[in-house]
Amino acid sequence: MSKEVKTGAIGLLLGLGLGLAFGLGYLLGGDVQTQDDPHLTSVEQAWNIILSDYVDKDEIDTEMLSQAAIEGMLALLDDPYSAYLDAEAYQLDASGSEGEYSGIGASVGIQDGQLTIVAVFEGSPAAAAGIQAGDVILEIDGVPTSGMDLYDAVLLVRGDEGTSVSLLVLRQGETEAVEVVVVRGQIEVPSVDFEMRGDIAYIRIEQFTERTNDELTPVLEAVAAEGAEGIVLDMRGNPGGLLDTVVMVTSRFVTEGEVLRIRDSYGNVDVYVVSHQEVTTDLPMVVLVDGYSASGSEVVAAALQDHERAVIAGTTTYGKGSANTMKELADGSGLYITVARWYTPDGNLIEGIGVIPDVELELTDEEAVQWAVDYLHGDEQGA
């Protein structure tokens, strides 16, 4: 049985399964027929020969043999977003989109072949321990992460609330790694924050969960009630999330037209258009992004850019523009595999390229927010 396609593969929640489900249930064209494939026949022959002729056949663990074969095939794909999940990890992933989990409160991705912290949630155990976005995790409880896929890293970090995990971390600009011990806790994944900065509304979306669109309704109502003259939408460090949420959030700011296009492994192209939302806004906007804005947040930024709805400011985004699906295997394990690429409304590929901002900013943190507020007031100094 196939599960929904996903956008958030970069945003692995440490302590949970991978990403957040593509809630629109993007359908594939069907399973490839392989009964007459001679290469598959060779694989079956090799399996049977090992089980029948290997000298120490009593020592063969068929479960591990099967897993090794699958992992070997995935390794040859050289795709960081495709992975094998054992039955335990598959069940864990099934509950991964509600916005709560037990872990350290951070998301990770693979950058330059290294396991890297993408975002740290405010008030989380990771934040309390001093973990920062951009930190490279070299070891997890003494196990090197070199060559480790994202799922394996998650399974090592996850654990029961109150237990601890040791991370060997190399901070940006440093030459020596430090050990950081984090006590796991119950994490509520943050979604939407809002405050007024004078007459400018500042809205931050941490990632796109099941709650995000509903949380935006009272926020946009408050924006109108406060008489805001513009909006700063901050998606820096946002690792993605549910695609149906991504489409609905985009539809708060763009009321007609395309949000994205998806080309699957069969060459089919599906076009996702805006969905009707009761509360929308046409206020001028600046969208803040950075190199850790990925997946679903790139879709939103690209759609707003292509529709000339907002000024995108910051640095080029991560470049995770692929769709993934989870397939359950006969033994209860799962295969998480890349099945499609997505494109912006203007037909631009996101994968490996990212969204290039309209205004490149070297400013970070609060300075970037203040630049955006000044920009909306007509002051472009500091760009």
Residues designated as active site = 295, 306, 320
d(CA 121, CA 205) in angstroms, rounded, equals 12
To 10 degrees, what angle do helices 62-77 and 38-53 make? 150
CB 117 within 8 A of CB 133: yes
Q: Dump strand ranges (E) for 296-333.
A: 311-314, 322-328
The two tokens of residue 57 are 């056949």
- Measured at the alpha carbon of residue 250, what is the angle toward residues 28 and 189, in degrees to the nearest 5? 80
d(CA 192, CA 123) in angstroms, rounded, equals 15
Among all chains, which residue has been given the structure tokens 């708060």? 252
Longest dimension (CA), the chain: 79
d(CA 226, CA 200) in angstroms, rounded, equals 9
Question: How many Cα atoms occupy the beta-carbon half-sphere of 148 within 13 Å?
Answer: 22
Q: What are phi and psi of 82, to 5 degrees?
A: -105, 135
d(CA 336, CA 325) in angstroms, rounded, equals 6
The two tokens of residue 32 are 């490839």
CB 297 within 8 A of CB 307: no
Among all chains, which residue has been given the structure tokens 């072949």? 113
To 10 degrees, what angle do helices 212-225 and 243-250 make? 20
d(CA 320, CA 23) in angstroms, rounded, equals 18
d(CA 344, CA 342) in angstroms, rounded, equals 7
Going from the C-alpha of 142 to that of each of 9, 103, 181, 282, the distances in angstroms are: 25, 18, 12, 52
Total residue count of the chain as it appears in this document: 383
